[in-house]
Amino acid sequence: MWWAIGIVIVLIIAGGLALQYAIKQNGPAVLDTVDRITGGSGDVVMVQKDSLGDNPQQSVAVYRVAGADPKTDAAPAAALPVIIFSHGGSWRSGSPDDYGFVARGLAPEGFVVVLAGYRLGDAGKYPAMVEDTAAAVAWTHANIANYGGDPERIFISGHSAGAYNAAMVALDRQWLGRKGLESNVLKGVIGLAGPYDFYPFDSDSTKAAFGGTPRPEQTQPINFARGDAPPFLLLSGEADTVVKPRNSRALAAAINEAGGTAKTAFFPDMDHYQIVMATASPWRRDPKIVNAIAQFVNETARGADEASVPVQAESR
């Protein structure tokens, strides 16, 4: 009997290791499949997909809880905060089509989620990835009310390379400005394991994406830290050796020193991949990542709403 139990344990461990390997090789697609199989889809549905350019990678897809799409069912009592998510992949791989698990993890918390794609590889060299992310923000601001989202409460997020895209669009005013938007259209930024201070370029991916830039220092989010930036939440795993947590510490310090607001959270048991895995079923049974994002969005959105309400003088 004991030998049978031992075999089962070995098979479980081997299966877990095989899954971890598969996730690292083609992570998002595997996570999306596992999320669906383990019941992660729930009642979250894609309600719109749109193209933002000639390149098929330039796209947006809108997800929300089913039964609340104002085009097909009863609209919610109030428009919901919106989270735009930009995927990772070292600016050379990835597709929002494989990140439905992020939407299925966040939408039930009371959000409309927009998965944003951007040009990759040779077509996506700087500043193309930032331009495309700004285009996704502009599309969201113009259209999200049609799907129950609040265009006045848009947050932008991303993992790894996508976190870079999100931070750059939020900090360097020129990108949203070119789309006719003020930088305050974004109410907050959530970065998961993002690179924000990585010049000089020392990896193949950063050299390929940014190496030909005439002014490379202008590609770095940390150099655009400012006091009037939207609030930031920067999450990193302490075990991350791909994008080291010092990136989050450095950017948060620069924003706070400039007079802005940047919060950080570090997770000792997480590496570069596990921090985004935590938004997928069954890993989100430990809800610390989803909870951190939801709490930040809700508190920041509530604070923005309260700040926008005019204060009336007391009667005497």
Task: Tell me the per-residue pLDDT of 194-227, one tens digit each, with 9 for 90 and over.
Answer: 999 999 999 999 999 999 999 999 999 999 999 9
Can you tell me the distance from the alpha carbon of 283 to that of 179, in angstroms, rounded to the nearest whole number? 37
**Residues of the chain above pLDDT 90, percent:** 81
Can you tell me the distance from the alpha carbon of 107 to that of 34, in angstroms, rounded to the nearest whole number? 18
CA angle 257-262-263, nearest 5°? Answer: 125
- Mean pLDDT taken over the chain: 89
Q: What is the mean pLDDT of residues 145-170?
A: 98
The answer, yes or no, to whether residue 2 has pLDDT greater than 80, is no
Full-model pTM: 0.88
- SS3 state at 13: helix
- The answer to whether the CB of 179 falls within 8 A of the CB of 172 is no
β-strands 232-237, 186-192 pairing = parallel
Q: Pick the closest to residue 81 from 161, 156, 165, 29 (CA basis).
A: 156
Q: Determine the pLDDT at residue 139.
A: 98
- The answer to whether the CB of 147 falls within 8 A of the CB of 64 is yes
